[in-house]
Amino acid sequence: MNPIFESKRRQNKLKPLSDAIGDLVHDGDAVAMGLCLESLIPFAAGHELIRQGKRSLTLIGPISDILFDQLIGAGCVSQVIAAWVGNVGAGLGHNFRRAIEDGIPQPLTMHDHSNFTLVLALKAAAMGVPFLPTRTASGSDIVKDETSFRQVACPFTSERLTAVKAVVPDVAILHVQRADCFGNAHLWGNLGAAVEAAYAAERVMLTCEEVVERSVIVADPNRTLIPGMLVDAVVHAPLGAHPSPVQGFWQRDGDSFLRYHERSRKRDDFLAWRDEWITEIPDRAAYRAKLEAEVLNRLAMRNA
Amino acid sequence: MSESFSTREIMIAAAAREICDGEVVFVGMRLPLVAFAVAKALHAPTAIGVFENGVLRDRSATQPIVTMSDPPNLDGALACTGLLEVMSLLQRGRIDLGFIGGAEIDRFGNLNTTLTQGVRLPGSGGAADIASFACRTVIIMMHEQRRFQEQVSYRTSPGYGNGADWRTRIGLPGGGPSKVVTSLGVFGFTAEGEMQLESLHPGSSLDDVRANTGWPLLISADVGETRAPSIEEIQLIRRFDTLG
């Protein structure tokens, strides 16, 4: 058996967040995150990447709301493969801008995609083919990036198409509503490119609101969108997607995104924000304790 | 009978009127989201809304949302699918109308949301896909000279390229932009793919439009005034546009 897949064997994969990140993510890895678009963004895992000082990562995702911006500002990232990087509620990502425009804290290579081409790149990897063809974005400057795109002729009709190169993440990190200890995961709500990324990646790490018995999973197998055979680690991380929403569990904490926008406007303010919310707190439990009870009550949904 | 209204409100009203009953609409956030709710309540009750995160709805969300993935946009949804499904609907030609915006637009309706005057913008998201495939697109933008450039510095979302039959030659299946709704007026496109003023919002002048457009703008022979929002439209806009 390929040693890389040893951790996918049917076994208890529950780990603390710090161990899962330490075991599965290495400097220089390509990491897919924020795959559902604005929901289920694995902020707890992203913050642990920052806490462990991971370096030279390539981030992959359609959009990530502010998680990519935080990782870029913390100096973890050398390359981004994405369709959109910013703050959905507020607009531009200040750290993303500083990195691209001024090389602060370090230069950043950006490979622009559209949402469609990004999911096609992951789908190609998930299917084990080198590219998938599409008609999208012809005449757009996006497809001039030959790292990701080439013009090809349809072998049947000679029609001109764009080949989207497969993107194989070293690791996909996904936040889900529930999983069993073997990594069989139920997720619901809008799915974005989550399933494609899980099937595309070499390693998969889940953070979840609830760890459930196998019987809960097999009672609704159509909802098992990520089977445990793909998964290497399961982390019980309730509220692990805050401030993004989790259908059935948490509303979006819009104020938090707006406050981050202000506190990331200047480099020094961002570093103070990073210290306060990431590096000077030991773990997600401390993060949760730091959020006011009023905020948690306001965001909590009745379990659906 | 008239009621005072804001620029934002006439933009929403004008956008809502572009949605026809029965259409499948790729809805964006903010103004288009409100326009879709208004159209559904008023003249397009059977329109279907498609969101790029994978959500399909036949009724508007009952609570205000900031992003398309907020739980109120999932509650009561027809379906929660993924990017690949909704983008496939687009590529297959099943989306009648898509709303998009941009930081910069040019005379042929090409949009830039990537890189302008040294500023790195967030990027395409799904805009390039919507611009490629929707049977028609409606573009919503603030009308400012820095945004209305003769040629965009980066073409994120293709409009009519450099005009005429460019879309066909380049292999874009969708119909391209049909209208641009700005803070000053409503614009259409000529058969050559060039933007043309069709109506001025009440209170804005031809001089305002020309001063804020970076090329010699075509003016329709029968340019009129954008119909002011009716009291009913204003009431609906204010009911749905609670986040401003």
- Measure Cα distances from A30 to A60, A115, B98, B156 in Å: 7, 18, 33, 25
Is the CB of A36 less than 8 angstroms away from the CB of B55? no
| % of chain A beyond a pLDDT of 90 | 94
Q: List CB contacts of B84: < 8 A, sequence separation 6 or more.
A: A119, A120, A123, A193, A196
Q: Evaluate whether residue B198 is within a structural domain.
A: yes
Is the CB of B87 less than 8 angstroms away from the CB of A136? yes
pLDDT at A81 over 80: yes
Is the CB of A142 less than 8 angstroms away from the CB of B55? no
Q: What is the mean pLDDT of chain A?
A: 96
| Mean pLDDT, rounded, for A183-199 | 97
What part of A 104-133 touches B (C-beta under 8 Å)?
110, 112-116, 118-120, 123
- Looking up residue B88, the CATH number of its domain turns out to be 3.40.1080.10
Distance CA(B236)–CA(B244), nearest Å, equals: 13
Q: Which domain holds residue B161?
A: 7-240
pLDDT at B42 over 60: yes
B34 — pLDDT class (breaks 50, 70, 90): very high
CB contacts, 8 Å: A83 with chain B:
123-126
B244 — pLDDT class (breaks 50, 70, 90): low
Instruction: Give catalytic status of residue B52 as yes or no.
Output: yes
CB contacts, 8 Å: A198 with chain B:
none
Q: Evaluate whether residue B20 is within a structural domain.
A: yes
pLDDT at B107 over 60: yes
| Mean pLDDT, rounded, for B158-184 | 96
| Mean pLDDT, rounded, for B167-195 | 97
CA dihedral sign of residues A148, A150, B89, B241: positive
Report the alpha-carbon angle A19-A23-A27, nearest 5. 120
Task: Please give the backbone phi and psi of residue A18, each rounded to the nearest 5 degrees, phi first.
Answer: -65, -35
Q: What is the mean pLDDT of chain B?
A: 95
| Mean pLDDT, rounded, for A192-198 | 98
B243 — pLDDT class (breaks 50, 70, 90): confident
Say which CATH superfamily domain A3-113+168-299 falls into: Glutaconate Coenzyme A-transferase (3.40.1080.10)
Whole-number pLDDT of residue A1: 56
Q: Which tokens in the block code for residue B28? A: 């964006």
Residues B36, B19 contacting (CB under 8 angstroms)? yes
Is the CB of B84 less than 8 angstroms away from the CB of A119? yes
Distance CA(A232)–CA(A236), nearest Å, equals: 14
Nearest to A84 among B81, B119, B124 (CB): B124
Nearest CA in chain B to A99: B120
- A63-78 b/e (C-beta count within 10 Å ≥ 16 → b): bbbbbbbbbbbbbbbb
| pLDDT, tens digit, 9 for 90 and up, residues B115-138 | 998 899 999 999 999 999 999 999
Report the greatest alpha carbon distance in chain A: 62
Distance CA(B47)–CA(B137), nearest Å, equals: 16
pLDDT at A8 over 70: yes
A168 by DSSP, 3-state: which? coil
What's the total number of domains in chain B? Answer: 1
Residue A31: strand pairing partners: A59, A171
CB contacts, 8 Å: A123 with chain B:
84
Whole-number pLDDT of residue B29: 85
Q: Evaluate whether residue B2 is within a structural domain.
A: no
Q: List CB contacts of A255: < 8 A, sequence separation 6 or more.
A: none
Whole-number pLDDT of residue B30: 87
Residues B102, B112 contacting (CB under 8 angstroms)? yes
CB contacts, 8 Å: A248 with chain B:
71
Whole-number pLDDT of residue A6: 80
| % of chain A beyond a pLDDT of 70 | 98
| pLDDT, tens digit, 9 for 90 and up, residues B61-90 | 988 889 999 999 999 999 999 999 999 999
Is the CB of B156 less than 8 angstroms away from the CB of A142? yes
Whole-number pLDDT of residue A303: 53
Per-domain residue ranges for chain A? Answer: 3-113+168-299, 131-165
Query: Cα A211 to the chain's mean position, in Å?
Result: 20
| Mean pLDDT, rounded, for A156-161 | 96
Residue the block writes with tokens 């003769």: B150
Query: Cα A50 to the chain's mean position, in Å?
Result: 14
DSSP class of A143: G
Q: Does A154 touch chain B (CB under 8 A)?
A: no
Q: Identify the CA nearest to B139 among candidates B184, B92, B186, B172.
A: B186
* Min Cα–Cα distance to chain B from A157, Å: 13
Which ranges of chain A would DSSP assign to H, the alpha helix?
17-24, 43-51, 67-73, 94-102, 115-127, 194-200, 214-218, 254-263, 267-274, 284-290, 293-299
Q: Is this prediction's ipTM beyond 0.95?
A: yes
Q: Evaluate whether residue B163 is within a structural domain.
A: yes
Q: Which tokens in the block code for residue A225? A: 């969108």
CB contacts, 8 Å: B70 with chain A:
38-39, 245, 251-252
| pLDDT, tens digit, 9 for 90 and up, residues A246-284 | 999 999 999 999 999 999 999 999 999 999 999 999 999
What part of A 42-81 touches B (C-beta under 8 Å)?
62-63, 65
Whole-number pLDDT of residue B117: 84
Q: Evaluate whether residue B28 is within a structural domain.
A: yes
